Copies of this chain bind each other. A is one copy, B any other.
Amino acid sequence: MSDRDQVTIFDVAKTAGVSGSTVSRVVNGYEHIAPRTRAKVLAAMEELGYVADTRARSLAGGKTNVIGVLVDGMGSAFMTELLRGIDDAISSSGMDMMLCTTNSRVGKEVEYATKLANGMVDGLVVAIPSELSLYLSTLKDRSVPHVLIDIDNEDRDTSMVKVDNRSGARRMTEHLLGLGHRRISMITGNLDVESARERIVGFREAMADAGLVDTDELVVPGDFNRPSGYEAAVELLARPVPPTAIFASSDEMAFGVMRAAAERGMLVPEHLTVVGFDDVPESSWVQPALTTVRQPIQEIGRRAIGLLLDEIRSPGGGAVSLELKTSLVARASSGPPSDVGAMQRHTAPQS
């Protein structure tokens, strides 16, 4: 289709009165080129409106200047933010992005990884939380530079960037404990995801440190999405002895919790403390603003691209793992426990 009247390197060569190879060298910034020749070529390129054909370029051994991004889906606010960071970094590096979504279709990841590895891209960043990292071997075999995001892989041989989920969850739990809460419930993320599990660990650790060991029934399953937060909260709030604080493993789920609370006529944080994890943009907008564990989402994306570019530009640098810090953002949705449903409150009340 597009092959009609395409301006090739040879057209430029002819107008500039040089050979095709010379044009190629000019285009690729080769150094040993007479200034005058370079100028002529540049002029010809300009005149003809030459644009390199990515396909041919990469087929012949050059770079594609495209970075592949493999994600599960782009529905969540977290992913949107992550993609922003990634996109930002990619485009300011002058490269282009090829986004592929697996939409949780099993096997699609491998298919994409193979296809992309087959010359479509110079490098790949993968943000699919899945244990089945079959695609990893493909990537390695073909030695395609790649970076994993938020995926825990025993294989210390792969570059990746993640955040300190465990201590983030821990700190948040301590915050809640400090406020005087004891019956703190956690709604987990999708347990297939490593970071979801780490958050649980952080939560349990903090609880245990406070002498609260029997947390089993306080930890209820969710999947990071809003509806699951809502449903979990409906169930929790309907219990004979409901929790005074709910720690959702994602802000998205926390919004679901808030809704469930509102429907029950409960005020946040007066009757129920609700906190989340992620700090997506919406969190500072909701009413009341959400107390949450902030992870530098866009930064994660930018860092991943940074690592990838390093590897692309100078291969063989070895795998690098980055763990970014999380921080607690205390806003309006958390407060001391209400004494309304007060059972034996052997807890030190705050102000």
Contact = CB atoms under 8 A, between A and B. Distances in A.
B2 A142 contact: yes
24 contacts: A1-B143, A1-B144, A3-B119, A4-B142, A53-B118, A54-B115, A54-B119, A54-B120, A55-B56, A55-B64, A55-B119, A55-B120, A74-B87, A75-B80, A87-B101, A87-B103, A91-B101, A91-B105, A97-B98, A97-B99, A97-B101, A98-B98, A259-B285, A259-B287
A315 interface: yes
Contact of A119 (B2, B64, B88): B2
A112 B51 CA distance: 11
Contacts of A55: 54-56, 58-59, 64, 119-120
Interface string A1-44: 11111100000000000000000000000000000000000000
Interface string A83-119: 1100110010000111111010100100010110111
A14 to B, nearest CB: 19
Contact of A96 (B52, B115, B282): B115
A213 interface: no
Interface size class, chain A: 35 or more
Interface in A219-267: 226, 255, 258-259, 262
B118 A2 contact: yes
A315 to B, nearest CB: 7
Contact of A80 (B3, B64, B80): B80
Contacts of A315: 1
A122 B2 CA distance: 8
A61 interface: yes
A250 to B, nearest CB: 15
A168 interface: no
A145 interface: yes
A4 B115 contact: no
Nearest to A100: B96
Contacts of A103: 87-88, 91
A222 to B, nearest CB: 16
Contacts of A96: 98, 100, 112, 115
Nearest to A58: B55
Nearest 10 A/B pairs, CB to CB: A99-B99, A55-B55, A55-B59, A2-B142, A98-B98, A51-B114, A2-B119, A55-B119, A262-B287, A2-B144
Given A2-B143, A91-B105, A226-B285, 5 more contacts: A3-B61, A6-B119, A53-B118, A97-B101, A255-B285
Given A87-B101, A285-B259, A1 B122 contact: yes
A66 B122 CA distance: 17
